[in-house]
Amino acid sequence: MTLISNKIHYIGTNDRKKHLFENNWPLPYGVSYNSYLIADEHPALVDTLEYGSDPDYLTNIATILEGRPLEYLIINHLEPDHSSMIGEILRTYPDVTVVGNCTTFKLLANYYAVPQEQKLEVMDGSTLSLGHHVLTFAWVPWVHWPETMVTYDTTDKVLFSCDAFGGFGTLDGGIFDDEIDFDKFYLTEMRRYYSNIVGKWSDKVQGAFQKLGGLEIKIICPSHGPIWRENPGKVLSLYNRWSTHQAEKGVVIIYASMYGNTEKMADKIARALAQEGVKNIRVFDVSKTHVSYLINEIWEYNGLILGTCAYNGQMHPMMHHLVHEISVANPKNKVVGVFGSSSWNGAGVKTLKKELEAIKITPTEKSVELFGVTTDDKLQGVKEFAADFASRL
């Protein structure tokens, strides 16, 4: 429990047990679930936690409230990492008023039974006075579910932003941006969170920026990751950059290789790109590195080169999986190239090009494909491919 501002308490927790967020995205450094309690004249809880993540959660609320009942439960977002303690809150505080928008209540009915008289349906821009603090609500649908809204405290200028401005990684002692070395660790994990979870909805993030643009924001309290009180402009700037698909000059090369020939091509292409002056080059084996990290790297750089061997008359299944995930995450403004190897029919590169075009990604006209082993006498095409690609970055 930590006081953030006048009567606003952080009552979040860290999850170091879970291996996969949404049972999909690796959590080697864990994740925090942030919940906030405004212990005002009319106490309000802003979002809850994932069920079972903190056995002390209800005790913490009771301690801060000193015997007073919780009057409001504000639901910014219903994904269970923030909402699965709602049942416990309803059982502990049976008279609590649940605050949400029309979509919140439509979805909530699929999870919890809340008596009609305990629902407070707010509109976009509605206000709610807690006594000292006056809250207002802004709908930000699809950041990252359709019901999502943010809550803004007009009194202390605090934005409870839910998934927006969040990141992976537990809060290891430091909770606030001025207590951590953000660039050393959290920056990469935040971009991975953005690209994996929120990136698909980048246009909606831009819509949220438009909507929140006029607010004076002194503190940002997201539902994951650090709280921004010293420099909230930094996380706003990062999210603006990522949601407008701005990227560093550089190339991510990702290959699928069964017996090493496509891998060798990847290294040859990387070397040729370096000789063309490209400084940021990252090479990955799609069969080894989880797609979560690959999408993160793809978001960071403006060049992407995919390579595959042929496999059962198509491309390698792991490359097929990556292309699917790229189509979901939908990174934009990339220069994309393809390469590959095969033993007889070139099915890998052919299929890769076809699948990219099907998701509206047009690779550079020049591609490179080798048959059999990657020997020096076959490498002229690699050099020409790399020179052409580098010139387009």
Query: Which residues would be at the binding site for ligand FEO (CB under 6 A)?
Result: 77, 79, 81-82, 144-145, 163, 223-224
Name which of 79 and 297 has its Cβ closer to ligand FEO: 79
Spatial separation of the C-alpha atoms in residues 145 and 11, rounded to whole Å = 23
The CA dihedral of 195, 201, 204, 208, to the nearest 10 degrees, is -40
223 or 308: whose CB is closer to ligand FEO? 223
Structure tokens given for 68: 């007073």
Please write down the HEC assignment for all residues of 372-389: CCCCHHHCHHHHHHHHHH
Q: Of the two residues 112 and 145, which places its CB atom closer to ligand FEO in the complex?
A: 145
Residue with smallest beta-carbon separation from ligand FEO? 79
Residue in this structure with the two tokens 């998934």, named with its chain if needed: 163
Nearer to ligand FEO, 29 or 145 (CB): 145
Beta bridge partners of 220: 159, 228
Smallest gap from residue 115 Cβ to ligand FEO (A): 26
Question: In the complex with ligand FEO, which residue's Cβ is closer, 42 or 82?
Answer: 82
Q: Least distance (Å) from ligand FEO to the CB of residue 5?
A: 22
Please report how many Cα atoms fall inside a 13 Å half-sphere around the Cα of residue 3, on the Cβ side: 7
Whole-number Cα distances in Å, 181 to 178, 218, 256, 334: 8, 20, 36, 30
Least separation, in Å, of the C-beta of 246 and ligand FEO? 24
Tokens in use for 270?
């990387």
Strands 72-74 and 97-100: parallel
Output the smallest distance, CB 3 to ligand FEO, in A.
24
Residue closer to ligand FEO (CB basis): 84 or 262: 84
Give the distance, in angstroms, between the CA of residue 187 and the centroid of all CA atoms in the same chain: 12
Identity of the residue, 222 or 363, whose beta carbon is nearer to ligand FEO in the bound complex: 222
Q: CB 171 → ligand FEO: shortest distance, Å?
A: 15
Distance between terminal CA atoms of the chain? Answer: 48
Buried b vs exposed e over 375-388: b needs ≥16 C-beta within 10 Å? eeebbeebbebbeb
CB of 19 to ligand FEO, least distance (A): 17
Min dist CB 165 to ligand FEO, Å, is 11
User: Are 44 and 73 within 8 A, CB to CB?
Assistant: yes
Under 8 Å between Cβ of 1 and 60: yes
> Closest distance between ligand FEO and the C-beta of residue 238, in Å?
17
Q: Which is nearer to ligand FEO, 79 or 355 (CB)?
A: 79
Q: How many CB atoms lie within 10 A of CB 311?
A: 18
Beta-bridge partner residues of 151: 137, 160
Q: What is the nearest approach in angstroms of ligand FEO to the Cβ of residue 144?
A: 4
The position carrying tokens 């002692």 is 173
Comparing CB distances to ligand FEO, the nearer of 144 and 191 is 144
Task: Tell me if residue 304 falls in helix, strand or coil.
Answer: strand
